[in-house]
Structure 1
Amino acid sequence: MTKTARRRRLLFGFAAVLAASLAGIPTAGADPLVPTPPNPYGSSAQPAAVPVTGPLPAAPRPVAPGQLPPAVTGAPTLDAVPAAPPPNGLVPATSGTLRDYFAANKVQMEPQQAAGFNAFNITVPMPTGWTHVPDPNVPDAFVVIADRRGGSLYTPNAQVVVYRLNGQFDPKAAITHGFIDSQTLMAWQTTNASLDDFNGFPSAVIEGTYRDADMTLNTSRRHVIVPTEDAAYLVSLTVTTGAGRAIGAAPATDGIVNGFRVDRAVAERPGVTRLPDAPHGQAAAVPARPQVGAGR
């Protein structure tokens, strides 16, 4: 009986100690817990346990195949690595068309005509079945060619305008504005763009689609700034076709885009070179001084 009572007292005592430890009550054999007074200056006023010499390295992030991860010590994260600049260092402008840039720099744009133009050479390929057309919808047109076969609502066409630029300006800075006129079109979607030089001249080319009323149009636009001894010129080529005929017209429009040239005038090929009925921009006999822009 005495042993049983003693055993019960031991069990009750052990249970009491266990309950007290779970409840946070100090036991006789443990150090008393001293409550920490609140810090009136916030956590930043507490001294750091160790001196901080720099930010902790960021957690590792996945990298694309073939791309080396940053070094562990002192390396910036992937988000902090700046994008590689374009090969020629040009960055597209975010506002202001070429015309806006020239107006802001007091540069006058003097439209040029194809007849008698001999400042330098311009090559406009003429695909089979395309013809020169007068187009009042192209202000200051230098030359307009189109494929009027098929009877579609929108005629595939190519337009060239040339301006003499009278005034002082930086051609490299100006050409960075070469995308804006296209990007302001309704529902514009870019498919390709570049600020690479074109035959050694500052140039901007942009391709994409946009909406005109209820039509979706595919277009390619290239601007080239050509400095000469006494002035500079802006040459702009626009090749456009309806989205419904884009595939069928692709050989012709690609031939124009890829065959278009701007280069220094040479004695045997002054003015504008016209390739009469050259299939999809292939070479053809060139007259010495063609009359580009006249109807056929």
Structure 2
Amino acid sequence: MTALRCLAGAALVVVVVASGCSTEPPDYQSVWSTSPTTTTPASDEPPVPIAVYLEEQGVVGDPVAPEKLTDLTVTFPTPPGWAPYVNTNLTPLTRVIAKGETYPTAMLMVFRLTGDFDVETAITEHGYADAELSQNFKRLNASTDDFKGFPSAMIEGSYDLNGQRMHTYNRIVIATGAPPANQRYLIQFTVTGYAEKAAEEAPDMEAIIAGFNVAVP
């Protein structure tokens, strides 16, 4: 289950930006605020990341290169000016693109799951946790609607990282591959950039998020 732990760790390293993914455009001014969030759960206990929840259920997660999947297609576009990005803090099978040497970035991780768990609980109770654990996280938008027919949790917002305010987008998908195996996968897709440049970088961000796809071949 160590591999799945990398999901939570990587999410906090590269966690997420981007655009308006909802029907209403994001209020970019609101994500620049450094005031404490009021949208995280009112509880003395911190949220539990989905990877930790799965580990507690005895589920094993093995990282998979998205391009090597044969029973599921998981892709996202690369806008002009963006290129593959390598970071030694990330697992080798994590796929990242960046514009330049730093942010903005887009990151994709896929894990093959072995073991039973309650999908609704995983999504509704743990799908936002990776983002919400970021420093001074402030929620902008969130949804647990299905994505491309698969159970999913999406959250957007802003957080602090090394003295910078970041704008974040994070989507987790629990997908089932083609029969007869009906293999279950955990997918995390994040896009990250500086909040002060959110409006400027929105076209690329929106294109990446709109182009993200999970489908059975």
Question: TM exceeds 0.5?
Answer: yes
Determine the C-alpha separation between the residues in 2 that align with 1:155 and 1:183: 20
For residue 176 of structure 2, what is the aligned residue in structure 1? 227
For the 8 Å contact 2:176–2:184, the answer to whether it is kept is yes
Q: 1:259 aligns with which of 192, 205, 211?
A: 211
Kindly indicate whether residue 64 of structure 2 is the aligned counterpart of residue 116 of structure 1: no
Residue type of the alignment partner of 1:160: L
For the 8 Å contact 1:141–1:159, the answer to whether it is kept is no
Q: 2:188 aligns with which of 229, 233, 236?
A: 236
For residue 214 of structure 1, what is the aligned residue in structure 2? 163
Residue type of the alignment partner of 1:234: L
For residues 195-233 of structure 1, give each alpha carbon's deviation from its aligned partner in whole angstroms, at most 9, with x where no partner exists: 000011000000000001211111100000012334210
TM superposition shift of 1:138: 2.5
Determine the C-alpha separation between the residues in 1 that align with 2:103 and 2:48: 29
Kindly indicate whether residue 79 of structure 2 is the aligned counterpart of residue 127 of structure 1: yes
For the 8 Å contact 2:166–2:194, the answer to whether it is kept is yes
For the 8 Å contact 1:164–1:233, the answer to whether it is kept is yes
Kindly indicate whether residue 113 of structure 2 is the aligned counterpart of residue 161 of structure 1: no
5+ residue gaps, structure 2, are: 1-45
For residue 173 of structure 1, what is the aligned residue in structure 2? 121
More helix by share: 2
Residue type of the alignment partner of 1:111: P
Q: Summarize the Cα distance change of 1:141–1:135 in structure 2 as closer, same or farther, 3 Å threshold.
A: farther
5+ residue gaps, structure 1, are: 1-93, 266-296
For residue 203 of structure 1, what is the aligned residue in structure 2? 152
Where 1:197 maps in the other structure, the secondary structure is coil
For the 8 Å contact 2:158–2:167, the answer to whether it is kept is yes
Cα root mean square deviation, aligned = 1.8
For residue 41 of structure 2, what is the aligned residue in structure 1? none
For residues 49-91 of structure 1, give each alpha carbon's deviation from its aligned partner in whole angstroms, at most 9, with x where no partner exists: xxxxxxxxxxxxxxxxxxxxxxxxxxxxxxxxxxxxxxxxxxx
Greater Rg, structure 1 or structure 2? 1
For the 8 Å contact 1:97–1:178, the answer to whether it is kept is yes
Determine the C-alpha separation between the residues in 2 that align with 1:154 and 1:188: 21
Correspondence 1:30-49 to 2 at 5 A: none
Determine the C-alpha separation between the residues in 2 that align with 1:166 and 1:217: 34
Could you state the TM-score of these two structures normalised by the residue count of structure 1? 0.54
Displacement over 6 Å in runs of 4+: none
Where 2:65 maps in the other structure, the secondary structure is coil
Could you state the TM-score of these two structures normalised by the residue count of structure 2? 0.73
More strand by share: 2
Where 1:125 maps in the other structure, the secondary structure is coil
For the 8 Å contact 1:154–1:242, the answer to whether it is kept is no
Percentage identity across paired residues of the two chains: 35
